[in-house]
């Protein structure tokens, strides 16, 4: 059934939304990216164009394929333009209220009752989003990893209401159409990857906060001592410290385990806008190309 999905909508054109749109476009799908304003929509298109050009420069994609993919992308600031979509993937800010309001609106806008509404949330309960609609059986989590065009994994998250047909369709879409490897999870905060990853990142942040070791030595220790391609603090910067804090808060709210509680340093950095690579400064300092200085 995944082969029947040819019209995809992505709501949110930030780092994750643009990446999701790019992989859909590269798979030859008619892809619409919806943003809150026209300038934000145009910025999303530019983000996709830059990423495609980067793939060409790094030998991962030929120029004709990049041009063809970009031609598959339409951007809009009107949610109504998603009316004919067969699959809509939500990738807006990690806020439960914002996402629930969006799902309620999408339920009214997307005309086909069989269309699937998916969320790219990294931690929030998918059930709450499904219950904001009249089609909870067609709501599912489809969580990609950053950078979406490069990392091969996607998590498919089913709720108590998600139908087996929806789960199978989305699984096949992610694997056969987008070429991702899929792991399955039930609807618990953090799903599989973040439920394991976030406590590790928070532990590294607490270590730096306490002065136990320097940021550089913490990252170097895990890179060279455990063969990790990236240290935990550099990885937190890549994810975005606001996102790490948000996921930690969701995990703590659900499980009440101290290891999930966001450290004060993380909260202060998020409040200060020191969000990591996307703002140029987090635990490390970055140049405009995203390289550490």
- What is the band of 162 on the pLDDT scale with cuts at 50, 70, 90? very high
pLDDT in tens, 170-192: 999 999 999 999 999 999 999 99
Which listed residue (35, 90, 155, 246) is catalytic? 155
What pLDDT is stored for residue 2 in this prediction?
52
211 by DSSP, 3-state: which? coil
Verify whether residue 35 is a known catalytic residue.
no
Record: fold of 193-279: 1.10.1040
Verify whether residue 155 is a known catalytic residue.
yes
pLDDT in tens, 72-109: 999 999 999 999 999 999 999 888 999 999 999 999 99
Which positions ≥6 away from 22 have C-beta within 8 Å?
48, 51, 52, 69, 73, 148, 149
Region(s) of the chain under CATH 3.40.50.720 = 2-186
Compute the mean pLDDT over every residue in the chain, rounded to the nearest whole number: 96
Architecture of domain 2-186 in this structure: 3-Layer(aba) Sandwich (3.40)
Model confidence, pTM:
0.91
Please check the confidence at residue 7 and state whether its pLDDT lies above 60: yes
Q: Where are the beta strands (DSSP E) in the chain?
A: 7-11, 30-34, 73-76, 87-90, 116-119, 139-144, 153-158, 181-186
Verify whether residue 194 is a known catalytic residue.
yes
Which listed residue (94, 143, 185, 250) is catalytic? 143
Region(s) of the chain under CATH 1.10.1040.10 = 193-279
What pLDDT is stored for residue 290 in this prediction?
74
């Amino acid at each position: 059934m995944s082969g029947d999905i040819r019209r995809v909508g992505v709501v949110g054109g930030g780092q994750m939304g643009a990446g999701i749109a790019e992989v859909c476009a590269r798979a030859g799908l008619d892809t619409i990216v919806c943003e809150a304003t026209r300038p934000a929509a145009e910025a999303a298109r530019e983000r996709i164009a830059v990423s495609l050009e980067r793939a060409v420069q790094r030998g991962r994609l030929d120029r004709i394929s990049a041009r063809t993919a970009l031609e598959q992308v339409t951007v809009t600031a009107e949610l109504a333009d998603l009316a004919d979509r067969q699959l809509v993937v939500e990738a807006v800010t990690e806020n439960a209220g914002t996402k629930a309001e969006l799902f309620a609106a999408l339920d009214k806008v997307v005309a086909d009752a069989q269309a699937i509404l998916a969320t790219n949330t990294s931690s929030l309960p998918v059930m709450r989003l499904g219950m904001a609609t009249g089609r909870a059986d067609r709501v599912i989590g489809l969580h990609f990893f950053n950078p979406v065009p490069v990392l091969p994994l996607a998590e498919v998250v089913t709720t108590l209401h998600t139908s087996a047909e929806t789960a199978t369709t989305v699984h096949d879409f992610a694997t056969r159409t987008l070429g991702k490897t899929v792991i399955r999870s039930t609807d618990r905060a953090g799903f599989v990857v973040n439920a394991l990853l976030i406590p590790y990142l928070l532990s590294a942040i607490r270590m730096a906060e306490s002065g136990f070791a320097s940021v550089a030595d913490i990252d170097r220790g895990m890179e060279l001592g455990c063969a990790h391609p990236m240290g935990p603090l550099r990885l937190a910067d890549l994810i975005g410290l606001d996102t790490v804090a948000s996921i930690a808060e969701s995990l703590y709210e659900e499980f009440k385990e101290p290891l999930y509680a966001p450290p004060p340093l993380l909260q202060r950095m998020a409040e200060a806008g020191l969000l990591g690579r996307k703002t140029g400064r987090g635990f490390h300092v970055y140049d405009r190309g995203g390289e550490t200085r």
